[in-house]
């Protein structure tokens, strides 16, 4: 049941009652292979947000099947969010934002192509990169057609995207040595193409609610496609471990916490776009919060799930209160929101430490949540200052940092509740943070 609504100030808070958990993430993999002291902490926040993630950067290597799966999931999920934002920027964004998003897409494409090379070999990685760039170029052409109301340009771009799907299917069938059929792979990527074209069509028609809903589904579809990309590169004997409950649980939390980061960024940026778009972005943040709370409740019990939802909603509200203050040039409001965020970080850390029987020390968890807040604070400050390159840098660092948090949290949860863990759960895949190159 909905509770208080705070318009223009924070995400609408959902105080939903808990219902029986059917599935808290997608029921099947859908994608390429399937068609189915405040001042001291504030000072350190800026430094950690801009430097800490770089320490984990390394060339992509094949690693274990679980690590490979994680890399595919992360990069494919991020690609979707970047592509959606780029297409929308063609309609409504300044040229500088479009260029920054294109640069981010280029980095993501390189990382994804390196992962393909690690899994399938250098020649296959090179061919994948060529095809992948073609579909990004066709998305740009389609968005331009939408922006200029040019039906012929849209149709030409659509034709290129359909051709890309067929070419991708052929490539994947060859790269996987027939483990995935060309028609199945083409059908999976066609879903991605159709979703991104559909979201820009409804966005242009100002149906923001549907646009953001499609965006979230598209992210989840592509994230879960990472399991197929990884699984097709290994022998059936190695692929068996992909279906183990701990791997599914890890993947589910990776997806949901990465999605949280990306949806908060959407809501922050939508604050500058108007109330209707902000409400639409906020609805998807709420949906993500509910999914996370259901996941916690399924593992730890309804009471702990409800406690999480309350604490997490405060965290989200604090981030949006800071964003509202930035948009209003309200320095006092920014300081108050940041002070509240520091307090919320401490409370969340205590909650996480408690639910895993103190297997996670409070101080490092507090620091991780504070770093997460720092990425989002720095992102919205940079976006408001029209420093879109820095805003994109914060998005990238923050997204991958949250996946590291997910990995650590799930590891502690598994050690705590392993004897009573359910055998079912998400049909996605697991993995830790990808080792990334910059």
Closest CA to 10 of 275, 208, 366: 275
- Distances in whole angstroms, Cα of residue 424 to Cα of each of 24, 73, 98, 298, 343: 11, 20, 42, 11, 35
- pLDDT of amino acid 416: 75
Does 320 or 298 have the greater pLDDT score? Answer: 320
- Distances in whole angstroms, Cα of residue 356 to Cα of each of 144, 208, 361, 362: 50, 39, 10, 11
Question: What is the C-alpha to C-alpha distance for residues 409 and 420, in angstroms, rounded to an integer?
Answer: 17
Q: Over the stretch 147-188, which tens digit does the pLDDT of each residue have?
A: 999 999 999 999 999 999 999 999 999 999 999 999 999 999
- Distances in whole angstroms, Cα of residue 269 to Cα of each of 65, 115, 246: 36, 30, 35
- pLDDT of amino acid 385: 98
pLDDT band at 62 (very low <50, low <70, confident <90, very high): low
- Tokens 């992360």 correspond to what residue? 74
- pLDDT of amino acid 418: 60
**Average pLDDT score over residue span 107-119:** 97
In this structure, is residue 6 part of a structural domain?
no
What is the Cβ-side half-sphere exposure of residue 422, based on CA atoms within 13 angstroms? 15
Residue 36 pLDDT greater than 80, yes or no: no
∠ CA(179), CA(181), CA(182), 5° rounding?
A: 130
Q: Over the stretch 263-294, which tens digit does the pLDDT of each residue have?
A: 999 999 999 998 899 999 999 999 999 999 99
In this structure, is residue 106 part of a structural domain?
yes
3-state secondary structure of 244: coil
Question: What is the C-alpha to C-alpha distance for residues 308 and 410, in angstroms, rounded to an integer?
Answer: 15
In this structure, is residue 378 part of a structural domain?
yes
Does 383 or 54 have the greater pLDDT score? Answer: 383
Closest CA to 12 of 283, 344, 333, 276: 283
**Average pLDDT score over residue span 374-384:** 98
Does 363 or 42 have the greater pLDDT score? Answer: 363
Token output for 173: 């069938």
Residue 11 pLDDT greater than 60, yes or no: no
CA dihedral 223, 227, 228, 229 (to 10 degrees): 80
What average pLDDT does the chain have?
83
Exposed / middle / buried, residue 249 (Cβ in 10 Å: 0-12, 13-18, 19+)? buried
Q: What is the CA radius of gyration of the chain?
A: 21
Where b means 16+ CB within 10 Å and e means fewer, 199-210 reads: bbbbbbeebbbe
pLDDT band at 406 (very low <50, low <70, confident <90, very high): confident
In this structure, is residue 92 part of a structural domain?
yes
Residue 405 and residue 257 in contact, taking contact as beta carbons nearer than 8 Å: yes
In this structure, is residue 24 part of a structural domain?
no
Please name the residues in contact with 181: beta carbons below 8 A apart, sequence gap of 6 or more.
169, 173
- pLDDT of amino acid 239: 80
Question: What is the C-alpha to C-alpha distance for residues 299 and 285, in angstroms, rounded to an integer?
Answer: 22
Q: In sequence order, what are the beta bridge partners of 436?
A: 57
In this structure, is residue 29 part of a structural domain?
no
- pLDDT of amino acid 106: 97
3-state secondary structure of 197: helix
- pLDDT of amino acid 383: 98
Q: Over the stretch 308-355, which tens digit does the pLDDT of each residue have?
A: 999 999 999 999 999 999 999 999 999 999 999 999 999 999 988 888
Residue 29 pLDDT greater than 50, yes or no: no
Does 254 or 8 have the greater pLDDT score? Answer: 254
- For residue 28, give the DSSP letter: S
Share of the chain above pLDDT 70, in %: 81
In this structure, is residue 56 part of a structural domain?
no
pLDDT band at 403 (very low <50, low <70, confident <90, very high): confident
Q: What total of structural domains would you count in the chain?
A: 1
**Average pLDDT score over residue span 4-14:** 33
- Helices 245-270 and 388-417 pack at an angle, to 10 degrees, of 150
Q: Which residues form the domain of 201?
A: 38-51+64-420
In this structure, is residue 12 part of a structural domain?
no
- Helices 388-417 and 65-92 pack at an angle, to 10 degrees, of 150
Give residue 239's region: left, alpha or beta (phi > 0; psi -120 to 50): alpha
Q: Over the stretch 413-438, which tens digit does the pLDDT of each residue have?
A: 877 766 444 443 333 333 333 334 44
Question: What is the C-alpha to C-alpha distance for residues 386 and 388, in angstroms, rounded to an integer?
Answer: 5
């Amino acid at each position: 049941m909905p509770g208080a609504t705070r318009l223009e100030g924070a995400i609408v808070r959902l105080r939903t009652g808990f219902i029986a958990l059917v599935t808290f993430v997608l029921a099947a993999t859908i994608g390429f292979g399937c068609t189915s002291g405040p001042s001291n902490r504030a000072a350190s926040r800026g430094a950690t947000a801009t430097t800490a993630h770089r320490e984990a950067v390394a060339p992509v290597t094949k690693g274990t099947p679980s690590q490979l799966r994680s890399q595919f999931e992360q990069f494919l999920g991020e690609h979707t969010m970047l592509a959606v934002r780029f297409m929308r920027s063609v309609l409504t964004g300044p040229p500088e934002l479009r260029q920054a998003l294109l640069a981010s897409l280029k980095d993501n494409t390189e990382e994804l192509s390196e992962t393909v090379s690690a899994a399938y070999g250098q020649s296959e990685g090179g061919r994948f990169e060529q095809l992948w760039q073609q579909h990004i170029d066709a998305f740009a052409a389609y968005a331009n057609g939408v922006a200029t109301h040019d039906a012929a340009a849209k149709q030409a771009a659509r034709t290129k995207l359909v051709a890309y799907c067929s070419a991708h299917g052929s490539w994947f069938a060859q790269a996987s040595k027939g483990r995935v059929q060309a028609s199945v792979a083409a059908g999976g990527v066609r879903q991605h193409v159709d979703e991104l074209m559909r979201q820009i069509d409804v966005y242009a028609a100002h149906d923001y609610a549907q646009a953001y809903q499609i965006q979230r589904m598209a992210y989840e579809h592509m994230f879960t496609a990472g399991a197929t990309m990884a699984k097709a590169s290994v022998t059936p004997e190695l692929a068996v471990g992909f279906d183990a409950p701990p791997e599914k649980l890890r993947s589910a939390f990776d997806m949901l916490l990465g999605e949280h980061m990306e949806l908060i960024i959407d809501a922050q940026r939508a604050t500058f776009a108007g109330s209707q778009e902000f409400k639409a972005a906020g609805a998807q943040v709420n949906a993500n919060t509910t999914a996370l709370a259901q996941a916690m409740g399924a593992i730890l019990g309804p009471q702990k799930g409800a406690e999480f939802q309350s604490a997490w909603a405060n965290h989200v509200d604090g981030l949006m209160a800071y964003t509202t203050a930035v948009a209003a040039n309200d320095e006092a409001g920014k300081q108050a929101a940041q002070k509240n965020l520091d307090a919320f970080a401490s409370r969340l850390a205590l909650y996480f430490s408690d639910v895993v029987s103190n297997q996670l020390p409070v101080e490092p968890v507090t620091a991780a949540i504070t770093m997460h807040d720092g990425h989002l604070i720095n992102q919205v400050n940079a976006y408001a200052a029209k420093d879109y390159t820095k805003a994109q840098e914060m998005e990238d660092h923050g997204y991958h940092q949250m996946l590291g948090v997910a990995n650590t949290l799930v590891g502690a949860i598994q050690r705590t509740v392993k004897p009573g863990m359910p055998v079912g759960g998400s049909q996605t895949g697991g993995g830790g943070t990808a080792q990334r190159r910059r």
